[in-house]
Amino acid sequence: MTNTNAEVDQFMAALDHPQKETIGYLRAAVLSSDPGITEHVKWKAPSFLHGGEDRVTFQLRAKKGVQLIFHRGAKVKDDQAVFEFTDDSGLLDWISSDRATVIFQDLDDVKAKEEAFVVLVRNWVKT
């Protein structure tokens, strides 16, 4: 992982989470999906930016598995009525017109869906 952030490295080193290995694997997958993706810690979790705007953020309080929030920045955009995104992967669970979640049960689940997930992230950050 070449575009890692020292703050996130420290966060991950100190993280006490039953799915820590899965989170680390997903972190690497997100960072490898597009060279323009950077990361920082936001909302007490790793968050990934593209063009300086948060786009994918871990939600580490999920009771089962590992959850990632796909969004278009910290604030809801005023173009929700015209925003469109086609999820060819079938991984997204829409929670509003421009926000969705992806939940992986464990590392095996991630590995089984990794290729589709990487393509999903790559497409999401470009919308």
Where are the domains positioned within the chain?
A: 6-125
Greatest mean pLDDT among 15-19, 69-73, 95-99 lies in 15-19
- Residue 13 makes CB contacts below 8 A (sequence gap 6+) with none
Q: Write the class of the CATH domain 6-125.
A: alpha beta
23 or 77, higher pLDDT: 23
C-alpha dihedral, 118 to 51 to 40 to 88, nearest 10°: -20
| 2 pLDDT more than 70 | no
Least confident of 9-18, 32-41, 66-75: 66-75
Half-sphere exposure of 5 (CA within 13 A, CB side): 16
| 78 pLDDT more than 60 | no
Query: What is the pLDDT at residue 84?
Result: 75
CA-closest candidate to residue 40, choices 28, 57, 23, 26:
57
Greatest mean pLDDT among 80-84, 95-99, 113-117 lies in 113-117
How deeply is 19 buried, as exposed, middle or buried, from its count of CB atoms within 10 A (0-12, 13-18, 19+)?
Answer: buried
Residue with tokens 């086609």: 86
